[in-house]
Chains A and B, each alone.
Chain A
Amino acid sequence: MTDKKMLVSKIDNGTVIDKIGAGMSLTILRVLNIREDYSDTVAVAIMVSSESMGKKDIVKLTHRDLSEDELKAIWLIAPDAVVSVIDNYKVSEKFKIAGKITSNQFSGVLKCENPSCATNFNEPVKPRYTLMRRDPMLVRCLYCDRVMLEENIKEQL
């Protein structure tokens, strides 16, 4: 993409998440806890034309690095996502999230669908899951052992 075509200007420092499935960027913002009161600049491009994907979303986050848990959460929502780490207007690192995932455990993002799972009550724990299969997605709650199917997971995303 050339500067001429850019909807949003380059960022000085932060993270660009590219190749997000069309329409999924708002879910990613939610997972990253970016709300109305967020203090840094965030640019979101929805339904951008893409050669490989037809349409895609892009999210640019200024002054924000992503933790491993956050990368995993994004990967669940956008399996093809590519992340660029921007340092002083230059790309210092670029990678496919899928290539960075080393463990199949993740936390956050989902709520356990078992109504009698302890994580759905007033406990100071963050739900944790094992990803048993990526496609179609199958995850298992590490607390109550409930297995969740892709169709039910998607309802939450």
Chain B
Amino acid sequence: MQNFNHLVSIKDIDKEMIESILKRAKEIENNPKEFAHRMDGKILSTIFFEPSTRTRLSFESAMLRLGGKVLGFSDPKTSSVKKGESIADTIRMAHSYSDVIVMRHYLEGSGRVASEYSKVPVISGGTGIQEHPTQALLDLYTMKKEFGDLNGLTIGLLGDLRYGRTIPSLLYAFAKYENIKVYLYSPDQLRARMTVLSDIEGKLDYSVEEDLQQTIGELDVLYVTRVQKERFPDLSTYERVKGSFIITPDTLSDVKEKMIVMHPLPRVGEISYEVDEMSQARYFEQARNGVWTRMAILDLILEEN
């Protein structure tokens, strides 16, 4: 197994490590009390250069549930970052104050910079449009809980596959498994980036699809992401395509019995509220799984360091 010094990209860890994280998450979920003092005396810094609700709160909850303490900032306007302090300097400050750092930053490459300057493990809470590795891991955990095994699954990724930072992390993770099949559904403007697709070429069975309805019957998982208005050059293009990327009970009329719908949240209309009551809806449970998965990541990364 590789060293687990930092987690800034899914490419930093191998399949064995992914499986260890998922296994530990399950152990923690089954018996949280057993892990309630694992982080006694340890401090987590949460450094968020960009707003976040779920990622930051679930990491803080994870650390508190492990018996540790948290400090940090979630609004760069109130920190010296506003004065132009670099990532490197902010990290050198944070590693003096804590045992592990979770950082979200709007710049790509920021996670790599942080990991190079930190003496303690750095976990990415999202870096620009590049990656969001812990979201991908909690997504995998949700799928594994549901189906027992990730191998053999057919997964549809829908929405903004170009700027959604979890998409590359998910694809890199899927590519580590033997036979996951992926369908990619998005407006033309929001197709997965060529760099990401070339990374998984030959390693993952994927295809770019035009119409969700043609293949939805094959899916075990439909993973929905938000299509944002501001990503389109003009409003009329957005208005034209947005309907194809909204999930309603009708969309799900002809799906596999055990198929599930996931979404990293927050959703803004791309899954109608009626779907919440359907047996396929798994996005709120997915969010809950974030805490178990992040507890596992913290536990394993501090075990190694």
Contacts and interface: CB of A to CB of B under 8 A. Distances in A.
Q: Is the interface of A mostly helix, strand, loop or mixed?
A: loop
A121 B88 contact: no
Interface residues on A, range: 10 to 19
A123 B84 contact: no
Interface in B94-108: 105-108
Contacts of A119: 109, 113
Contacts of A145: 108-109, 130, 195
A118 B195 contact: no
A88 interface: no
Contact of A123 (B113, B194, B198): B113
Nearest to A124: B88
A147 B195 CA distance: 7
A143 B109 contact: yes
Given A143-B113, A144-B128, A117 B107 contact: yes
Contacts of B151: none
Interface in B35-90: 84, 86-88
Contact of A147 (B86, B106, B108, B194): B194
Contact of B86 (A123, A140, A142): A123
Nearest to B105: A118
B293 interface: no
B27 interface: no
A142 B128 CA distance: 15
B195 A117 contact: no
A125 interface: yes
Contacts of A144: 107-109, 128, 130
Given A116-B128, A125-B116, A146-B195, A141 B109 contact: yes
B112 interface: yes
A112 B112 CA distance: 14
Contact of A118 (B84, B110, B194, B198): B110
Contact of A143 (B84, B88, B108, B195): B108
Contact of B107 (A121, A124, A140, A147): A121
Contacts of B128: 116, 144
Contacts of A123: 86-88, 113
A114 B84 CA distance: 20
A119 B112 CA distance: 10
B116 A118 contact: no
A145 B131 CA distance: 10
Contacts of B130: 144-145
Contact of B109 (A117, A122, A124, A147): A117
A148 to B, nearest CB: 10
Contacts of A142: 112
6 contacts: A116-B106, A116-B107, A116-B108, A116-B128, A119-B109, A121-B86
Interface of A: 112, 114, 116-119, 121-125, 140-147
Interface of B: 84, 86-88, 105-110, 112-113, 116, 128, 130, 194-195, 198
Given A118-B109, A122-B84, 17 more contacts: A112-B109, A116-B107, A116-B108, A116-B128, A117-B108, A118-B105, A118-B107, A118-B112, A118-B113, A121-B86, A122-B86, A123-B88, A140-B195, A142-B112, A144-B108, A145-B195, A146-B195
